[in-house]
Chains A and B, each alone.
Chain A
Amino acid sequence: MADTRHDPSSLPGHGGGDGDDTWTLAGRTLRSRLIVGTGKYRDAAQTKACLERSGAEIVTVALRRVDLSAKDNLLSWIDRDRYLLLPNTAGCYTADEAVRTLRLARELGIADLVKLEVIGDPTTLLPDNEQTLLAAKILLDEGFAVLPYVSDDPIVCRKLQEMGCAAVMPLAAPIGSGLGIRNPHNIRFIVEQATVPVIVDAGVGTASDAAVAMELGIDGVLMNTAIARAREPERMAEAMRLAVIAGRQAFLAGRMPMQAHANASSPTVGLIE
């Protein structure tokens, strides 16, 4: 494929272990390619344990009305020196709602990085790409580093990167569905044209999905439910950490060509008679 940016041999860190395989997002150098959500966990302790085992450096959070009966505020226990908080706009159905949400998030002392998600339908939770583009324009003008969650649509992704978004985050399957990478071809198209990092956001169900996503040459994976709804979330967090590294390493290594027929791995000469 004509793909220079993602030619593994041209990447820094090629040939090394995962330790020197860093990437850059909105000017930040990152080691982990796994971004995790903080929703749906049993409690703060389980959330913390899963963040720890995932190895993530960036974690998403949602913005909601404060619960006056709750004493356990996320901001009181999360280690903000260790994790960069990435506020989302989950639940927003218009550009205006999303922009309003992220302006409030900025008041809470976040960095410039925000996850823009404008939903178009409550059943599928698929993105409203038109509203997402509108919101992205406003947020970029206000100095945010915008990470938009969008359909796996190469055209919309191209528009968002040309607009100045810090990354594009195509879905692999509907949010919380765990259906895996439904359209690897589109993700490849998005990777081939990318001038900004590509992060697959939503749809990963288990470790192999994360590895498959990374093998497509994307820069990172964002997930929440796949870890939080596993029977043992802490163990799945670890599995995802390893799967993302494995998938990335396999991409860098370059897979063998597929062929229709068998090809013996042992010498075909020198057999005893």
Chain B
Amino acid sequence: MVRGYVPHRMLHIVVNGEERAVAEGTTVAGLLADLGLARQHVAVEANREIVPRAEHDARRLADGDHLEIVTFVGGG
């Protein structure tokens, strides 16, 4: 291991029903970027509470968070 390197603790979260591991400190905005999602195209709920877009940069994920990331699709 490189001297001075502190490994990130990994957080285990659930995104749209699937488990994922993300580095501690990851924000909602960071997660969306990692997933390749344009933030203006999605809405996010954490543990059944909406995370407003304005809070995506500040909101850090916590171990065990359940996220729903949704968008619009074709429908009648």
Most chain B CB neighbours (cut-off 10 Å) among A38, A67, A73, A85: A73
B74 touches A63 (CB 8 A): no
Contacts of A87 in B (CB 8 A): 72
Query: B16 — which chain A residues lie within 8 A by C-beta?
Result: 65-66, 68
User: Are the CB atoms of B43 and A105 closer together than 8 Å?
Assistant: yes
**CB within 8 Å of B: which of A7-63?**
37-41, 47, 60-63
A107 interface contact, C-beta 8 A: yes
Q: How far is the CB of B7 from chain A (nearest CB, A)?
A: 26
Q: Report whether B71 and A74 are in contact in the complex, using a CB–CB cutoff of 8 Å.
A: yes
> In this complex, which of B42, B69, B76 has the most chain A Cβ atoms within 10 angstroms of its Cβ?
B76
Asked if A185 is an interface residue, CB under 8 A from chain B, the answer is no
CA distance A87 to B74 in the complex (A): 10
CB–CB A88/B76 < 8 A: yes
Number of interface residues of A (CB under 8 A): 36
A224 at interface (Cβ–Cβ under 8 A)?
yes
Among A37, A63, A73, A103, contact of B76 (Cβ-Cβ < 8 Å)? A37
The docked-state distance in angstroms from the alpha carbon of A60 to that of B68 is 21
Q: Which residues of A contact B53 (CB under 8 A)?
A: 107
Q: Is the CB of A74 within 8 A of B76?
A: no
Residue B50, interface by CB 8 Å: yes
Q: Which residues of B contact A159 (CB under 8 A)?
A: none
User: Which residues from chain A contact B48 at a C-beta distance below 8 Å?
Assistant: 100
A101 and chain B: residue at smallest CB distance: B70
Is B69 within 8 A of A107, CB to CB?
Answer: no
Hey, which chain B residues are within 8 Å of A88, CB to CB?
A: 75-76
Q: Is A225 an interface residue (CB 8 A)?
A: yes
Closest to B75 in A: A62
Kindly identify, within residues 67 to 89 of chain A, every residue whose CB is under 8 Å from any CB belonging to chain B.
67-68, 73-76, 85, 87-88
In the assembled complex, A90 has its CB within 8 A of some CB on chain B: yes
Measured between beta carbons, the chain A residues less than 8 angstroms from B43 are 63, 104-105, 107-108
Q: Is A73 within 8 A of B71, CB to CB?
A: yes
B52 touches A76 (CB 8 A): no
User: How long is the Cα–Cα vector from A218 to B76 in the complex, in angstroms?
Assistant: 19
Taken residue by residue from 9 to 39, chain B's Cβ proximity to chain A (1 for < 8 Å, 0 otherwise) reads as 0000000110000000000000000011110
A43 closest partner in B (C-beta): B74
Chain B contacts for A63, CB-based, 8 A: 43, 70-73
Nearest first, the 7 A-B pairs at minimum CB distance are: A62-B75, A37-B76, A224-B76, A107-B43, A38-B74, A61-B72, A39-B74
- Hey, which bits of chain B sit against chain A, CB under 8 A? 16-17, 35-38, 40-45, 48, 50, 52-53, 68-76
Kindly list 18 other residue pairs between chains A and B, CB separation below 8 angstroms, not including A37-B74, A68-B16, A68-B36.
Answer: A37-B75, A37-B76, A60-B76, A61-B72, A62-B72, A62-B74, A63-B71, A63-B73, A66-B42, A66-B70, A67-B73, A68-B35, A73-B72, A74-B72, A75-B40, A75-B71, A108-B70, A224-B75
Could you give 20 example pairs across A and B, Cβ below 8 Å? A38-B74, A38-B75, A39-B73, A60-B75, A61-B75, A62-B76, A63-B71, A64-B70, A64-B71, A65-B16, A65-B17, A65-B69, A66-B41, A73-B41, A75-B71, A76-B41, A108-B71, A176-B76, A222-B76, A223-B76
